Amino acid sequence: MPPLTTPFNIAHRGARSLAPENTMPAFRKALEVGAHGIESDVRVSADGRLILHHDSTFERTTNVKVVFPQRSADLVHTFEWSEIAGLDAGSWFGERDPFSTIAGGRVSPSEVQAFCGSAVPLLGEMLLFVRDHELFFNIEIKPLPAAMAGFDVAAKVVECVEMAGLDTGRFSISSFHHPYLRRVKDMRGDIEVNALIGENLARPQDWDAYEFAVYNANVDLIDLLQLQQAWRHGCRVNLYTVNRLAQMHHYLELGVEKIITDYPQLLSDHPPAARNHNRQSRGFQPFADRMSRNIRNELSKAFARALTEHRPTAVFKVADKLARTSAPCCRDYIDDRLERYRRVFDRAWATPNDDFRLSLLAWDESLFFEVHEILEPLWLQAHGDYKLFLQAMIRAAGCYMKEEAGYPAPAASLAAKALPVLRTHRDLLDRYVDSGRLLEALTPPLSPAPLLLDASSP
């Protein structure tokens, strides 16, 4: 496990792609595959016990229809703990294979059999588990129904944590119902609370007045502009539910602190590189600041020339000149760019490459300005379908330039222009890579730029 100051791989409801969600097998599996922490949901039984269960009813993930056929659609809070304790919360996973991990061989028949009879856990049971195994625990409090409005669930959660003796650095309390978080802060100002936002996909995420120090935002609604604004207000940001490896790496490198995922095994198997591709996102503004724009243009043009002419020293001379009079954020940008340029140079000249493949090497280092500089001369000389194809690739790179700089609407517009052309002429890209990865990423809602030559996303 990395130092506790930087936990980032959080298993959503446990490793729910490998075991039945919100059960001890899922929590143990999260530990087994290398997750740094676990997220789980707190609901309340009719007699005031704090249980771990996501849905408002038991229908989807237990055998309640068999045990209580007349009450199967009843809300969780109408069941006593003695009734809940008798439910089977594990057999459904083997019957439905919700993530196709059984069919894919990631979950064995013996494991499926062992899941049968798994119980709905109590919060206290889970707190002891994470304490004993030194995991991080994101405790999400689900909103209570009106019938239980008088039950102080936030206080009960805090009381439960205190009884377990869990150190404050080992957990956070989150909720979409922000009054619960204010209640926690009133009781214990030292407990980290995470304001959940983005529950309704039909509406933009509501950051309100940036009241909270930490926000857990919906990855399907996020863009760089939102992240930048949150950071400018001094807020930290985590994202849920991030299930594609390229997205995980992209947002961790941008500065998101925790990734909440159904696939913790994926991030454990492919940890992010120890670098920040987008340091400029917090200070370097190539679309809004003249100095940033000039540095971007001079550096990317010099790189493209050096790459195609096999003259690497030229770009380093330009970078040295630009760095001498630049602000710290610009020097960070230059240093970061040079680091990636070196990797491209090492690969570019190891084997023969044509200019288009050189652009793909740059793409896989997120050098989208540079992709444009490499492809533009090819586009100017091309004709017919190939010219249209190159224009679409330039627009795809431009889409990610805009997205990276915090302009989601122009990014989406460029993606919309590039996508139909790339679909029509995908055979031209398939000569080099699997075009499906790029087509999927550009299809709304826009996903982070995929790796093309070095694809490792699921």
The CA-based diameter of the chain, rounded to the nearest angstrom, is: 77
Structure tokens at 324: 């001498």
Note whether residue 406 is domain-resident. yes
214 plus 132 within the same structural domain: yes
Q: For residue 324, what pLDDT band results from cuts at 50, 70 and 90?
A: confident
Query: Quick one: how far is CA 47 from the chain centroid?
Result: 37
Q: Which whole number is the average pLDDT over 19-25?
A: 98
219 plus 284 within the same structural domain: no
Note whether residue 363 is domain-resident. yes
- Identify the pLDDT of residue 277: 40
- Measured at the CA of 168, the angle between CA 162 and CA 174, to 5 degrees, comes to 90
Residue 233 in contact with residue 214, Cβ under 8 Å? no
Note whether residue 173 is domain-resident. yes
Euclidean distance between CA atoms 393 and 397, whole angstroms: 6
- Identify the pLDDT of residue 322: 85
Note whether residue 223 is domain-resident. yes
pLDDT at 206 over 90: yes
- Identify the pLDDT of residue 197: 98
Structure tokens at 190: 């030292």
> Which residues on neighbouring strands pair with residue 239, listed in sequence order?
217, 259
Q: For residue 116, what pLDDT band results from cuts at 50, 70 and 90?
A: very high
pLDDT at 25 over 90: yes
- Residues spanned by the domain of 365: 279-442
For 310, phi then psi, to 5°, come to 60, 45
Whose CA is closest to 261, among 6, 1, 26? 26
Q: What is the CATH number of the domain that holds 68?
A: 3.20.20.190
Residue 89 in contact with residue 120, Cβ under 8 Å? yes
207 plus 305 within the same structural domain: no
Residue 375 in contact with residue 356, Cβ under 8 Å? yes
Residue-wise pLDDT tens digits, 243-286: 988 889 888 878 888 999 999 999 988 877 544 444 334 456 77
200 plus 254 within the same structural domain: yes
3-state secondary structure of 238: strand
302 plus 367 within the same structural domain: yes
Half-sphere exposure of 83 (CA within 13 A, CB side): 20
Among 269, 287, 320, give the residue marking a domain's end: 269
292 plus 161 within the same structural domain: no
Note whether residue 451 is domain-resident. no
Q: For residue 17, what pLDDT band results from cuts at 50, 70 and 90?
A: very high
Note whether residue 16 is domain-resident. yes
Residues in the chain: 458
Number of domains within the chain: 2
Residue-wise pLDDT tens digits, 37-73: 999 999 999 999 999 999 999 999 999 999 999 999 9
Note whether residue 453 is domain-resident. no
224 plus 286 within the same structural domain: no
- Which DSSP state fits 288? T
Note whether residue 452 is domain-resident. no
Structure tokens at 243: 């299930």
Dihedral, 159, 164, 168, 174 alpha carbons, nearest 10: -60
263 plus 151 within the same structural domain: yes
Q: For residue 113, what pLDDT band results from cuts at 50, 70 and 90?
A: very high
59 plus 193 within the same structural domain: yes
More confident residue, 80 or 328: 80
Three-state SS across 351-411? CCCCHHHHHHHHHCCCCHHHHHHHHHHHHHHCCHHHHHHHHHHHHHHHHHHHHHCCCHHHH
CB atoms within 10 A of CB 383: 7
- Model pTM score: 0.64
Among 18-22, 232-236, 288-292, 332-336, which range has the highest average pLDDT? Answer: 18-22
Structure tokens at 210: 């940036």
Q: For residue 403, what pLDDT band results from cuts at 50, 70 and 90?
A: confident
Q: Which whole number is the average pLDDT over 375-404?
A: 93
For 239, phi then psi, to 5°, come to -125, 140
Structure tokens at 388: 């249209």
User: Which alpha helices (H) appear in 188-327, and where do they start and end?
Assistant: 224-232, 245-254, 264-269, 290-309, 312-324
First vs last Cα of the chain: how many Å apart? 24
165 plus 311 within the same structural domain: no
